[in-house]
Amino acid sequence: DGGITQSPKYLFRKEGQNVTLSCEQNLNHDAMYWYRQDPGQGLRLIYYSQIVNDFQKGDIAEGYSVSREKKESFPLTVTSAQKNPTAFYLCASRDSQETQYFGPGTRLLVL
Amino acid sequence: GQNIDQPTEMTATEGAIVQINCTYQTSGFNGLFWYQQHAGEAPTFLSYNVLDGLEEKGRFSSFLSRSKGYSYLLLKELQMKDSASYLCAVIFRSGNTPLVFGKGTRLSVIA
């Protein structure tokens, strides 16, 4: 069963804490993306990776970091430098026809 | 910039037809996507238009005019489950550039 998985579904962060959101895909897609969505807002691009061991900043990369050590995995770390992290985080991968497919999302809340 | 404009909200009656418009800057345009996003869930792919014209998929159709920088998503025989946000996204240039998303149109279907 191919697809994109994200975990956890809900994540709570304390002040000054770094948290990591998982994104895994078994679709054999090269490109992967991280978006942030705030209530009633559109998707904003955080980081993207076109190939293993390579990634680029999106529009709102400050306070976030990523790695792409394996084709299947593209974890996102929300660092303590991100002062307003509460949002819905969506991971996506892209097929050869340019279509992006999304994982189910992780909702991050600050305690 | 690469602005993508679509109405913020629309309301339509069950069984009716609704058209959701999207306009974008034509420079560098390479293709346009429509996604559906139910509240609290991830976006799901609806359609991809590259060439001018209408593409029909069951109750949903998508139209593109490249020269006018204009697209619309047409939903026929509306059902209550069609209440969702509809996101217009454009790929500018080709290859590995990320999609640029509009802010989405929230459609409410009423009885």
CA-to-CA distance for A97 and B9, rounded, in angstroms? 30
- Asked whether the beta carbons of residue B42 and residue A97 sit closer than 8 angstroms, the reply is no
Of A60, A62, A64, the residue nearest A23 (C-alpha): A64
Model confidence over B23-44: pLDDT tens digits? Answer: 998 888 999 999 999 999 999 9
Of A9, A5, A8, A38, the residue nearest A23 (C-alpha): A5
Model confidence over A53-97: pLDDT tens digits? Answer: 999 999 999 999 999 999 999 999 999 888 899 999 999 999 988
Which residues are CB-contacts of A44 (< 8 A; sequence separation ≥ 6)?
A: A35, A36, A37, A38, A58, A59, A60
- Asked whether the beta carbons of residue B45 and residue A101 sit closer than 8 angstroms, the reply is yes
Three-state secondary-structure class, residue B29: strand
When pLDDT is averaged across residues B79-92 and rounded to a whole number, the result is 96
Q: Which of A40, A88, A100 sits opposite B99 (nearest CB)?
A: A100
User: What is the percent of chain B with per-residue pLDDT over 70, rounded to a whole number?
Assistant: 96
Structural tokens at position A85: 């992290």
Q: Is A90 on the interface with B (CB under 8 A)?
A: yes
